[in-house]
Amino acid sequence: MSSELLKKMIESKKKFDKKKNLNIMSKFETISDDEVAMVLALRAKRLRLKQKLTQKEFSKNLELNSASTYSNFEQKGTISLVNFIRVVREFGLLDQLDELFKPTDIKDVLEIYEGNDSKNKRVRKKETK
């Protein structure tokens, strides 16, 4: 067996073992970004199964190009942001996603309300002397 193939097999086993230890209640601040993606996928799968839908049926509801797009999400935790938003919308949870990046500072809210939110659209590199 080639060493490259052996490396791939070992890496695959590590990922599988890691996935085994995750569950829908895993706290995001205690796990890696890849693991957060997997937990989101596990939670989505749970919600889909509660609706008694197959992956194919659910993918059709989402109007995805391919059923494998959603299948890959459940298995690997990978999906485009736009397709993830479709998943969240299909579950009726878009309002929770909306809460993530809402301005919380009163100054930010007032600037947006007054239409003065144009400042800081870009961060400039500081000149070094």
**Model pTM score:** 0.68
Which domains are delineated in the chain?
A: 3-95 (1.10.260.40)
pLDDT number for residue 3: 81
Non-local CB neighbours of 72 within 8 Å, separated by 6+ positions: 78, 79
C-alpha dihedral sign at 71, 30, 100, 50: positive
pLDDT number for residue 47: 97
pLDDT number for residue 15: 59
Q: Per-residue confidence of the chain (129 residues) as pLDDT tens digits?
A: 678 877 777 776 565 555 567 887 888 898 999 999 999 999 999 999 999 999 999 999 999 988 899 999 999 999 999 999 999 999 999 999 888 877 677 776 677 667 665 555 666 777 776
SS3 content of the chain, % helix, strand, coil (to 5): 65, 0, 35
pLDDT number for residue 12: 62
